[in-house]
Amino acid sequence: MKRILFVTLSAIAFGCNSNDNDNGAESSAVKATDKVDVQFSKQQIRDFKSAAKVFNAMPSPIEMAEIIQKSKVLYDPELLNDHKKTADYVTTMERALNLGVYFADLSFTSVFDHQQESVNYLKAAQKMATELNMLDVFNEKITTRMESNMNNKDSLLTIISEAYLATDHYLYENQMQSVSAAVLVGSWIEGLSIATRLRSAEGESNLITSKVSEQQSSLKSLIGLLKDCKEIELAQIKDKLIKVEEYYNEVKVETAADSTKTVTMSNATFKKIKVAINNIRTTIVE
């Protein structure tokens, strides 16, 4: 998934102010696909690196599966956004943010082998993409392939990746910078929201808490990515994320002699982050 999401990062690299290039800045050629060469300014490359940090810190679907297996996490559909709520999102930002949310939910249901729910969330993402005028991104072929592979988790995750790739490629080609950033924000917030609310048979898993604590660097990169965004919704989310960053500053990081780092998060800090992230998530999905 992370390898495929490179295309998304290329789209986001244009930044929310893509028309404002550095004065006199030299451009660097970055090959985003085998067929398209794009010239990026120094600022755009910095934005690209920020987006890359966000994705690198996010657990991949395979990593999620390993965490779930080791932690004995219980599947709870109440953690996800209702796939029937697509009609509630009417503005471009609402649809873009929830497209990201539905992609995160889609990965979650697939990891748990809930095939029919995966189909439902694919259709929800398809609806959001269609409302964003991405008419060629999702089609009946993708849905049919998914329904034909309901008993094969690996195939389902591959199809999810291809659907995400199609979305990313469309945003890239059409330079829909704010939409691209919103999809990233929605996906990151939903992923962290799910992680903070997951339960295992033995209570909150230390492994999951550890993954939550590791999101500090990706949060910083996400805030930096949104700093120049003009859209009101994204600006408001950025301000709320800055408050979450204050809570992350309470996390203790110790570096051993061999340069390995140990990240420790108290239960109190975990709860503050959990409440703050889920408050942001509520503004997105409701």
Report residue 43 as tokens. 């600022």
Report whether 285 contacts 98 (CB < 8 A). yes
Cα–Cα distances in angstroms (integers) from residue 263 to residues 204, 211, 253, in the given order? 17, 10, 5
Q: Note the pTM of the prediction, 2 decimals.
A: 0.77
Classify residue 286 by burial, with Cβ atoms within 10 Å: 0-12, 13-18, 19+: exposed
Q: What is the pLDDT of residue 6?
A: 42
Q: Is 72 within the bounds of a domain?
A: yes
- Rg, C-alpha atoms of the chain: 19
| 3-state secondary structure at position 73 | strand
| 3-state secondary structure at position 136 | coil
Residue 254 forms beta bridges with which residues? 262
Angle between helices 92-111 and 267-285 (to 10 degrees): 120
Q: Is 1 within the bounds of a domain?
A: no
Q: Is 101 within the bounds of a domain?
A: yes
Report whether 142 contacts 134 (CB < 8 A). no
Q: What is the pLDDT of residue 243?
A: 95
CA dihedral 49, 52, 56, 61 (to 10 degrees): 180
CA distance 223 to 236: 11
Place of tokens 């339960």: 199
Q: How many domains does the chain have?
A: 1
Residues of the chain with pLDDT under 70: 1-69, 135-139, 161, 163-175, 201-205
Q: Is 33 within the bounds of a domain?
A: yes
Q: What is the pLDDT of residue 220?
A: 87
Q: What is the pLDDT of residue 55?
A: 54
**pLDDT tens profile 95-143:** 999 998 998 898 888 878 787 888 899 889 889 988 988 766 666 777 7
Report residue 159 as tokens. 């199809």
| 3-state secondary structure at position 29 | strand
Q: What is the pLDDT of residue 54?
A: 58
Report residue 187 as tokens. 């996906």
Please give the residue range of the domain that contains residue 93. 6-285
Q: Is 111 within the bounds of a domain?
A: yes
Q: Is 110 within the bounds of a domain?
A: yes
